[in-house]
């Protein structure tokens, strides 16, 4: 049985008395290792870029991926080196300094949702912001771009179950009636019937939709039978087996069409992801 008071969704009153960011979190609790990660994605018309830092217990890693949509060019790199500064996420700033890519991006303000949800033995916390204004510069060999648009900021931590598997999507776009939309949708983690991390932002205001069903990484079905269709354009895959810790990860940049929980999309850009981990 998980801790009392969860699931909980905020921001607001009643935040459970648990070890949560920004406070200290012990390395192990409820028989599970501490997991922490932050992912930032920029989903532009010419370029899409994501970067993340992650920790599982005492180990750490970082990665970045870029899709130049104009030149149809894909770049990506993962580092498992402890203390690497290849990806730096410092408050509202994302810095990448790697062979083949330099980026300096600044995140603006967006209304967050926060969720704490139980698993079979542990629990997970997350704070999501979608439709976040992002601007800055991206440099690849022979090319320097000024970028401006929107994306997502995902901060997560907790003591998730030893075996965890999920499907996830985040994106930004425009509704047929001109409203700005953004989303964070998931199946398999932090997804109870209510007080989940699922969120749709319409003109910057978030609300929680009913549970969704993923058709692999091709579409998302909503409770009203509307569907959000995905067309992939660039993919990052990685399989790791460190005996006690294993991970199968697939991340796809692309575009979206269809209906977002009943809202007709004019255009949409973002990511579909699958992750299965033994951690």
Q: What's the pLDDT tens digit per position in 233-257?
A: 999 999 999 888 999 999 999 999 9
- pLDDT surpassing 70 at residue 1: no
* Closest by Cα among 191, 197, 160, 173 to 254: 173
Q: What's the pLDDT tens digit per position in 184-220?
A: 999 999 999 999 999 999 999 999 999 999 999 999 9
Give, in order, the Cα–Cα distances in Å from 57 to each of 81, 120, 199.
15, 19, 28
- pLDDT surpassing 80 at residue 102: yes
Provide the mean pLDDT of the chain: 96
Q: What pLDDT sits at residue 4?
A: 84
pLDDT confidence band for 160 (50 / 70 / 90): very high
Q: Is residue 27 part of a domain?
A: no
* Closest by Cα among 268, 244, 236 to 254: 268
Q: What pLDDT sits at residue 244?
A: 86
Mean pLDDT of all residues in 170-190: 98
Q: What pLDDT sits at residue 30?
A: 84
Q: How far apart are CA 35 and CA 279, in angstroms?
A: 9
Q: Is residue 195 part of a domain?
A: yes
Q: What's the pLDDT tens digit per position in 58-84?
A: 999 999 999 999 999 999 999 998 789
Q: What pLDDT sits at residue 2?
A: 64
Q: Is residue 128 part of a domain?
A: yes
Q: How far apart are CA 87 and CA 152, in angstroms?
A: 16
Q: Is residue 86 part of a domain?
A: yes
Which residue, chain included where needed, has tokens 């992801």? 273
Q: What pLDDT sits at residue 233?
A: 94
Number of domains the chain is built from: 1
Percentage of the chain surpassing pLDDT 90?
A: 93
Q: Is residue 24 part of a domain?
A: no
Range of the domain at 245: 34-278
Buried b or exposed e, range 37-51, using 16+ CB within 10 angstroms: bbbbbbbbeebbbbb
Q: Which stretch of 3-7, 64-68, 85-89, 144-148 has the lowest confidence by average pLDDT?
A: 3-7
pLDDT confidence band for 128 (50 / 70 / 90): very high
User: Based on C-alpha coordinates, what's the Rg of the chain?
Assistant: 18
What is the DSSP code (8-state) at residue 198? -
Q: Is residue 26 part of a domain?
A: no
Q: Tell me if the bond preceding 271 is cis, omega within 30° of 0.
A: no
Q: How far apart are CA 3 and CA 203, in angstroms?
A: 35
Report the predicted TM-score, pTM, of the whole model to 2 decimal places. Answer: 0.96
pLDDT confidence band for 42 (50 / 70 / 90): very high
Q: Is residue 22 part of a domain?
A: no
Q: Is residue 230 part of a domain?
A: yes
Count the Cβ atoms, other than its own, within 10 Å of residue 102. Answer: 15
């Amino acid at each position: 049985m998980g801790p009392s008071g969860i699931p909980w969704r905020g921001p607001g009153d009643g935040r459970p008395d648990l070890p949560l960011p920004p406070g200290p979190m012990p390395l192990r609790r409820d028989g599970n290792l501490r997991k922490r990660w932050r992912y930032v994605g920029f989903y532009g018309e010419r370029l899409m870029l994501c970067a993340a830092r992650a920790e599982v217990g005492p180990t750490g890693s970082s990665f970045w991926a870029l899709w130049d949509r104009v030149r149809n060019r894909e770049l990506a790199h993962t580092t498992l080196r402890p203390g690497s500064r290849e990806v730096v996420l410092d408050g509202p700033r994302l810095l990448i300094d790697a062979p083949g890519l330099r980026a300096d991006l600044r995140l603006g303000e967006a209304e967050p949702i926060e969720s704490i949800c139980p698993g079979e033995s542990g629990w997970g916390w997350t704070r999501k912001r979608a439709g976040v204004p992002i601007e800055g510069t991206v440099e690849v060999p022979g090319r320097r771009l000024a970028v401006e648009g929107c994306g997502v900021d995902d901060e997560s931590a907790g003591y998730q179950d030893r075996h965890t598997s999920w499907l996830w999507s985040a994106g930004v776009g425009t509704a047929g009636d001109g409203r700005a939309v953004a989303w964070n949708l998931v199946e398999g983690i932090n997804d109870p019937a209510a007080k989940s991390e699922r969120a749709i932002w319409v003109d910057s205001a978030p609300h929680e939709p009913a549970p969704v069903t993923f058709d692999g990484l091709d579409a998302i079905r909503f409770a009203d039978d509307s569907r959000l269709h995905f067309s992939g354009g660039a993919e990052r895959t990685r399989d790791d087996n460190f005996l006690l810790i294993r991970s199968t990860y697939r991340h796809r940049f692309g575009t979206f069409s269809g209906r977002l929980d009943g809202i007709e999309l004019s255009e949409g850009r973002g990511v579909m992801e699958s992750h299965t981990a033994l951690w």
